[in-house]
Amino acid sequence: MIVPGLASVTFRHLKGDEIVDLAAQARLGALEWGADVHVRPGEHAEARRLRRRCADAGLYVPTYGSYYKAGHTDPAELDPVLTTAAELGAARVRVWAGTLGSDRAAPRDRRRVAEDLRRCAVRAAAHGLAVTVEYHVESLTDTSDSATRLFSEAGGEHPLVPHWQPREEPDTARCLEEVKALLPDLGHVHVFSWGADGFTERLPLAERADLWRPVLELLAGDGRRREAVLEFVPEDSPEAFLRDAAFLREVIAEVA
């Protein structure tokens, strides 16, 4: 089961209530809140308020997207992240796998990140949360091999939940191999279409139907609930978002 959703960072220029209304208008089921603008760590009252707004709009909160970088950020900064995620009613909190790409990280760097991720997972579990790791450049999840190795290195009583998103101008075959490598534990994906210039060249989602149809079909294959969360729409436009959301819902219905 794939649930279409929206990442609030898509619209950093909008207020939280406006984002809830947009997600409901687009007939989505999930809303991922970011920690940089809309719900900052420690803003418990706002987290509770937006949790109620989401529930009233028929939306659940799968993830609280923090900017905690394992092995780099001061560990004391994790606690307000976790308490805020819990107040939001999130199932998971997102952290990052350090600040070094896998080609630059020495063995001690990998150990430091893995140990911190393991500690994060234990502390998150005390709040009823799982930890998901951003699949991102300039971190230890910048390649499929490094990411799967890291999840093994950080494994413990509370396993990490993998996250996936494509790279600049992604190759479909490579993307499918990356997704396969993260199954069955993959929890959610960030959905967007980029051209060769990456973040600055955003395309309508339908222009990469050749990518997203097979990826979503693969994700739907075992029937587990996962979120497909829209992000990075052209020109940060609500109209572009509504168009992309309609396409995403259409494809999810086709592969279900």
pLDDT of residue 45: 98
* C-alpha 205, offset from chain centre: 17
Strand, helix or coil for residue 133? strand
**Cβ distance 4 to 17 under 8 Å?**
no
pLDDT of residue 144: 86
pLDDT of residue 101: 93
CATH number belonging to domain 2-255: 3.20.20.150
**Cβ distance 39 to 84 under 8 Å?**
yes
pLDDT of residue 201: 84
For residue 145, give Cα distances in angstroms to 35, 110, 135, 150, 155: 28, 13, 12, 9, 16
pLDDT of residue 60: 98
CA torsion 99→101→102→108, rounded to 10°?
Answer: -30
pLDDT in tens, 92-116: 999 999 999 999 999 999 999 999 9
Angle at alpha carbon of residue 10, lines to 125 and 65, rounded to 5°: 15
What is the rounded distance in angstroms from the CA atom of residue 204 to the CA atom of residue 233?
A: 7
What is the rounded distance in angstroms from the CA atom of residue 80 to the CA atom of residue 119?
A: 15
pTM surpassing 0.85?
yes
Q: Which amino acid is at 34?
A: G
Q: Where are the beta strands (DSSP E) in the chain?
A: 2-7, 30-34, 63-69, 92-96, 130-133, 161-164, 188-191, 193-195, 198-203, 226-230
For residue 196, give Cα distances in angstroms to 50, 91, 135, 193: 36, 34, 19, 10
CA torsion 217→246→58→216, rounded to 10°?
Answer: 10
pLDDT of residue 5: 98
pLDDT along the chain (256 residues), means of 10: 97 97 98 97 98 98 97 96 98 96 93 96 97 91 91 88 86 92 92 82 93 96 95 94 98 94
pLDDT of residue 199: 72
**Cβ distance 179 to 186 under 8 Å?**
yes
